[in-house]
């Protein structure tokens, strides 16, 4: 499953649960209770809140551990295990990329910086979805590690607003299969 599609599904489930909570409470508003029942409802809601707290705490810890155990950003001050190093410099409004032809399955280290303003270096797969990104900042070099999995033409887009031609600041990368065919 494409990662973004999984995120979309999880989001819809989360927002749907919130909606259900509101729909339930709203559907009950027309059934006023006496004070004894209200007291019982109040106690029950406090118990439910404790369980919700525990459930959210568990989910929070679980997701944090799973998503940070292998830190998703490569070490910036140590050598990366890449077969190829590519220098990327953003300018208003072009990309200067030292190599634009790559092979599938080869880890690439992109060293991304800018010589003027902030830019965003995002790699779009041939299917039009972002596979990875980092910021291109003046005075800093962000090291991005990526291994292309499918051949084709990948598009670079600037994802940090950088002035009037920001939307036109694009480039292309060609990724070929191990045998050399695109």
Alpha-carbon span 165 to 161, nearest angstrom: 9
Closer to other proteins by Cβ: residue 85 or 176: 85
Per-residue contact track with other proteins, 154 to 173, x per CB under 8 A? ---x-xxxxxxxxxx-----
Minimum distance of other proteins from residue 4's CB (angstroms): 5
SS3 180: coil
Cα separation, 65 vs 83, whole angstroms: 29
Kindly state whether residue 107 participates in binding other proteins, applying the rule CB under 8 A. no
Beta strand pairing call for 170-176 and 101-103: parallel
Residue closer to other proteins by CB (options 25, 181) is: 25
CA-based R_g, the chain, Å: 24
Binds other proteins (CB under 8 A): choice among 82, 86, 108, 144: 144
CA distance 158 to 167: 7
Q: Among residue numbers 1 through 20, which ones bind other proteins (CB under 8 A)?
A: 3-5, 7-8, 10-11, 14-15, 18-19
Contacts of 56 (CB under 8 A, 6+ apart): none
**Please, are residues 123 and 136 in contact by the beta-carbon 8 Å criterion?**
no
One of 94, 137, 152, 176 touching other proteins (CB under 8 A): 137
Task: Give the DSSP letter of residue 176.
Answer: E
The window from 78-86, 95-103, 114-122, 171-179 that contacts other proteins (CB under 8 A) reads 114-122
121 touches 134 (CB < 8 A)? yes
Closest approach of other proteins to the CB of residue 103, in Å: 22
Residues 44-103 that bind other proteins (CB under 8 A): 45, 49, 52-53, 56, 60, 63-64, 67-68, 71-74, 76, 92
Nearer to other proteins, 19 or 182 (CB): 19
């Amino acid at each position: 499953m494409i990662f973004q599609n999984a995120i979309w599904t999880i989001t819809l489930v989360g927002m749907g649960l919130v909606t259900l909570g509101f729909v339930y409470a709203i559907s009950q508003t027309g059934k006023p209770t006496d004070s004894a029942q209200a007291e019982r409802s109040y106690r029950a809601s406090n118990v439910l809140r404790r369980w919700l707290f525990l459930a959210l705490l568990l989910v929070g810890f679980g997701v944090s551990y799973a998503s940070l155990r292998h830190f998703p950003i490569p070490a910036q001050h140590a050598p990366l295990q890449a077969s190829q190093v590519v220098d990327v410099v953003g300018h208003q409004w072009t990309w200067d990329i030292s190599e634009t032809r790559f092979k599938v399955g080869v880890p690439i280290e992109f060293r991304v910086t800018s010589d003027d303003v902030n830019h965003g270096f995002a790699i779009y797969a041939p299917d039009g979805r972002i596979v990875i990104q980092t910021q291109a900042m003046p005075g800093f070099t962000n090291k991005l590690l990526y291994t292309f999995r499918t051949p084709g033409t990948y598009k670079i887009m600037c994802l940090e607003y950088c002035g009037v031609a920001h939307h036109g600041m694009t480039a292309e990368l060609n990724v070929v299969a191990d045998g050399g065919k695109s």
